[in-house]
A and B are shown apart, each in its own frame.
Chain A
Amino acid sequence: MGLATTILQSRAVAALASPHGVDRYLELVNPMWAATEVRARVVDVHRETTGEHPVATITLQPTSTWRGHRAGQYVQVGVEVPGARRTTRCFTISSAASAPGERFTLTVRAHSEGLVSKFLVERAEPGLVVHLSQAQGDFTLVESPATPTNNHLLFITGGSGITPAMSMVRTLLRDGYDGHVGRRVTFLHYARGPEDQVFADELASWADADNGVRVVLRHESAGDPRFSAIDLARLVPDFREVDTWVCGPAGLMELVELAYDGSPRLRTERFKPPVVKAGSAEGDVVFSRAGTQAANSGAPLLEQAEAAGLTPEFGCRMGICFSCTARKSEGTVRNVLTGEESSLPDEEIRICVSAPVGDCVVDL
Chain B
Amino acid sequence: MTALSTEQTHDRTAPAPEPGEQPVSDNLPLTPSQLKAFGEEMDAIRQRIIASLGEEDADYIHRVVKAQRAFEVAGRALFYVPPAWPLAVAALSVSKILDNMEIGHNVMHGQYDWMGEPGLSSRMYEWDNVCPSEQWKYSHNYIHHTFTNIVGKDRDIGYGILRMDADQKWHPYYLGNPVYAFLLMVFFEWGVAMHDLEVENIVAGKRKISENAALHRGIMRKVKRQALKDYLLFPALTGPLFPLTLAGNATANLVRNIWAFNIIFCGHFPAGVATFSVEETENESRGQWYLRQLLGSANITGGKLFHLMTGNLSHQIEHHLFPDLPARRYPEVAAEVQEICERYGLEYHTGPLGKQLFSVAAKICRFALPDRASDVPGLSTLAGAAGLVTRFVSRRPSVAVVPDAA
Residues of A that sit less than 8 Å from B by CB: 12, 15-16, 18-20, 24-25, 28, 78, 80, 82-88, 315-316, 318-323, 325, 337-338, 340, 348
Contact = CB atoms under 8 A, between A and B. Distances in A.
Contact of A86 (B47, B66, B116, B324): B116
A25 B116 CA distance: 19
B142 A24 contact: no
Given A19-B126, A24-B119, A84 B145 contact: no
Contacts of A12: 233
B73 interface: yes
A338 B52 CA distance: 13
A321 B139 CA distance: 10
Contacts of A16: 229, 233-234, 237
A38 to B, nearest CB: 12
Contact of A322 (B51, B65, B66, B137): B137
A325 B229 contact: no
Contact of B113 (A24, A78, A348): A348
A12 B115 CA distance: 31
Contacts of A337: 43, 46-47
A84 B119 contact: no
A320 B126 contact: no
A337 B122 CA distance: 20
Nearest to A347: B116
A322 B110 CA distance: 7
A25 B69 contact: yes
B55 A320 contact: no
A320 B293 CA distance: 13
A298 B14 CA distance: 34
Given A19-B128, A84-B58, A85-B115, A318 B69 contact: no
7 closest A-B pairs by beta carbon, nearest first, are A84-B58, A315-B142, A86-B116, A19-B126, A321-B141, A316-B146, A321-B142
A259 B323 CA distance: 56
25 contacts: A15-B225, A15-B228, A15-B229, A18-B225, A18-B226, A18-B228, A18-B229, A19-B126, A83-B53, A84-B53, A86-B116, A87-B116, A88-B116, A316-B141, A318-B286, A320-B324, A321-B141, A322-B324, A323-B137, A323-B141, A325-B122, A325-B123, A337-B46, A338-B47, A338-B50
Nearest to B145: A320
B146 A315 contact: yes
Contacts of B122: 322, 325
A323 B142 contact: yes
Interface residues on B, range: 35 or more
Nearest to A86: B116
A340 B47 CA distance: 10
B289 interface: yes
Contacts of A86: 115-117
B173 interface: no
Interface in B103-154: 109-110, 113-117, 119, 122-123, 126-128, 137-138, 141-142, 145-146
Nearest to A25: B69
Given A24-B119, A321-B146, A322-B113, A83 B225 contact: no
B115 A348 contact: no
Interface string B250-294: 000000000000000000000000000000000000100100000
A272 B115 CA distance: 22
B54 A84 contact: yes
Contacts of B324: 319-320, 322
Given A16-B229, A84-B58, A320-B146, 13 more contacts: A15-B229, A16-B237, A20-B128, A25-B73, A83-B53, A85-B116, A87-B116, A315-B138, A318-B289, A319-B324, A320-B145, A320-B323, A348-B113
Given A12-B233, A18-B225, A88-B116, A322 B141 contact: yes
B347 interface: no
A319 B322 CA distance: 11
B61 to A, nearest CB: 10
Nearest to A325: B123
B116 A321 contact: no
B116 A19 contact: no
A86 B65 CA distance: 17
A320 B324 CA distance: 6
A340 to B, nearest CB: 8
